[in-house]
């Protein structure tokens, strides 16, 4: 299962259980035979998490204590150590707050820092839950559509500035970006910081994908762009994507600014949340012991991406974007000349591949599809063959 020299991900696959979103997505096809579907939508990896994570959970079960969580100081120290080692930035432990996942944390931040009808800016196409949480908190969704240049996304702050109405209060930047996998350069992040400073906006930087970067690339965590540049930011990170433990539902909300931190903590307290014991324990052990797993994983995923892109980009009508990070391919189907809906149905019922449709990611996403490549190379190859046979 685990090779002496590292992880053999071809043989380190988790079973997909009935009580999972990945399985629900297959059931939602309403097909009589669901066995042949490739579930490449939901962003859970197909792999088991690091072996130490599994053995820790087994040990917890053996001990038989399933009560409330304690030990946050140890968890916080591990977060600061992780960020220092991996991202060259060491927050103070007391800056690290936790939440039941980053989407929940964004909701709490919206309530802490903004009022109903305030404008919240996102850079589309982007992770669909941003718009859901903004809308369901009755804030105004402001989408700044990114520009696609030479097959890569760029922020369009000039256009955004021209559209500003005066009610904008907060910006959410996904860094690295999902979908499209862009790693924002230091200069691009400085531009965002100055934009926020100029317009008196609070900035949330969602860095949930910060560890999932191609081995040859480097993500720059926002606080490293320069200490005195801009203080009104909230950095969100998590172990859940990095180590495939999203069911642990936890995330880190790191706020160096005292006044922002105080406001966030009050709003978080008002939710009644206390840490999920299992998520916290698994996250901590993953940070402590998951280094080998992660570095092997990144090599494996990069190989999958190359295979996928290479095969898909041979087709005249499809363009798979060059991705710097994440394990999510983003493919443009507009040249097929068919609608997103038809392409979606074709992918689902003819190719038997479940993907995420681009329009759910907002402006600029229409007729793109997102495919999760954190799965076996065999399955990635199978998916390209199926796509080829129906879209060539």
Q: Which is nearer to ligand PLP, 120 or 352 (CB)?
A: 120
Q: Which is nearer to ligand PLP, 330 or 391 (CB)?
A: 330
- Does residue 110 belong to the site contacting ligand PLP (CB under 6 A)? no
Quick check: helix, strand or coil at residue 145? strand
What are the backbone angles phi and psi of residue 270, rounded to the nearest 5°?
A: -65, -20
The residues, ordered by sequence, that sit 6+ positions from 145 with a Cβ below 8 Å of its Cβ are 123, 124, 125, 156, 159, 362, 363, 364
Q: What are the structure tokens assigned to 305, written together?
A: 């991406």
- Does residue 97 belong to the site contacting ligand PLP (CB under 6 A)? no
- Does residue 41 belong to the site contacting ligand PLP (CB under 6 A)? no
Quick check: helix, strand or coil at residue 143? strand
Q: Which is nearer to ligand PLP, 207 or 296 (CB)?
A: 207
- Does residue 205 belong to the site contacting ligand PLP (CB under 6 A)? no
Element (H, E) at 25: helix 21-27
Q: How far is the CB of 147 from ligand PLP (least distance, A)?
A: 20
For CA atoms 195, 180, 97, 129, the dihedral sign is positive
Which residue's beta carbon is nearest to the bound ligand PLP?
101
Region from 96-104, 195-203, 266-274, 382-390 binding ligand PLP, contact rule CB under 6 A = 96-104
Q: Which is nearer to ligand PLP, 9 or 127 (CB)?
A: 127
Q: Which is nearer to ligand PLP, 183 or 352 (CB)?
A: 183
- Asked whether the beta carbons of 37 and 352 are under 8 A apart, the reply is yes
- Does residue 221 belong to the site contacting ligand PLP (CB under 6 A)? no
Q: How far is the CB of 154 from ligand PLP (least distance, A)?
A: 18
Which residues 143-202 are close enough to bind ligand PLP by CB under 6 A? 174, 178
What is d(CA 22, CA 197) in angstroms, rounded to the nearest whole number? 41
| Residue showing tokens 């990611």 | 361
What is d(CA 133, CA 104) in angstroms, rounded to the nearest whole number? 8
Find the binder of ligand PLP among 118, 206, 284, 340 (CB under 6 A): 206
What is d(CA 204, CA 140) in angstroms, rounded to the nearest whole number? 16
What is d(CA 115, CA 87) in angstroms, rounded to the nearest whole number? 33
Q: Which is nearer to ligand PLP, 240 or 351 (CB)?
A: 240
- Does residue 40 belong to the site contacting ligand PLP (CB under 6 A)? no
CA count, 13 A, side-chain hemisphere, 241: 26
- Does residue 102 belong to the site contacting ligand PLP (CB under 6 A)? yes
Q: Which is nearer to ligand PLP, 103 or 321 (CB)?
A: 103
- Asked whether the beta carbons of 131 and 122 are under 8 A apart, the reply is yes
Q: Count residues near ligand PLP (CB under 6 A).
A: 13
Which residues 229-248 are close enough to bind ligand PLP by CB under 6 A? 238, 240, 246
What is d(CA 372, CA 366) in angstroms, rounded to the nearest whole number? 18
Positions touching ligand PLP (CB under 6 A) are: 43, 101-103, 127, 174, 178, 206, 208, 238, 240, 246, 251
């Amino acid at each position: 299962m685990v090779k002496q020299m590292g992880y053999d991900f071809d043989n380190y696959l988790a079973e997909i259980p009935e009580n999972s979103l990945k399985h629900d997505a297959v059931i939602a096809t309403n097909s009589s035979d669901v066995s042949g579907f490739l579930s490449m939508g939901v962003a859970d990896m197909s792999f088991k998490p690091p072996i130490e994570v599994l053995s820790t959970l087994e040990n917890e079960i053996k001990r038989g204590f399933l009560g409330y969580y304690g030990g946050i100081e140890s968890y916080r120290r591990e977060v600061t150590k992780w960020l220092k080692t991996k991202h060259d930035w060491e927050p103070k432990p007391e800056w690290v707050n936790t939440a039941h996942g980053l989407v929940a944390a964004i909701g709490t931040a919206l309530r802490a820092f903004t009022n109903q009808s305030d404008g919240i800016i996102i850079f589309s196409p982007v992770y669909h839950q941003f718009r859901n949480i903004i809308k369901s908190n009755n804030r105004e969704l402001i989408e700044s559509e990114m520009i696609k240049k030479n097959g890569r996304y760029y922020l369009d702050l000039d256009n955004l500035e021209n559209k500003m109405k005066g009610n904008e209060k907060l910006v959410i930047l996904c860094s690295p970006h999902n979908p499209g996998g862009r790693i924002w350069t230091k200069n691009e992040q400085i531009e965002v910081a100055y934009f926020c400073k100029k317009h008196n906006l609070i900035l949330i930087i969602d860095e949930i994908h910060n560890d999932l970067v191609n081995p040859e690339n480097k993500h720059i965590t926002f606080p490293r762009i320069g200490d005195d540049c801009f203080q009104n930011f909230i950095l969100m990170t998590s172990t859940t994507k990095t180590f495939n433990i999203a069911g642990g539902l936890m995330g880190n909300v790191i706020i160096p600014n005292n006044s922002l931190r105080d406001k966030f903590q009050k709003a978080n307290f008002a939710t009644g949340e206390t840490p999920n014991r299992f998520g916290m324990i698994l996250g901590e052990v993953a940070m402590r012991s998951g280094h080998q797993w992660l570095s092997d994983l990144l090599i494996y995923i990069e190989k999958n991406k190359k295979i996928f892109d290479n095969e898909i980009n041979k087709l005249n009508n499809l363009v798979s974007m060059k991705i710097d990070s994440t394990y999510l391919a983003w493919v443009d189907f507009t040249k097929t000349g068919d609608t997103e809906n038809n392409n979606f149905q074709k992918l689902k019922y003819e190719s038997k591949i479940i993907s995420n449709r681009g329009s759910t990611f907002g402006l600029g996403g229409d007729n793109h599809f997102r495919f999760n490549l954190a799965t076996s190379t065999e399955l990635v190859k199978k998916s390209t063959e199926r796509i080829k046979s129906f879209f060539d």
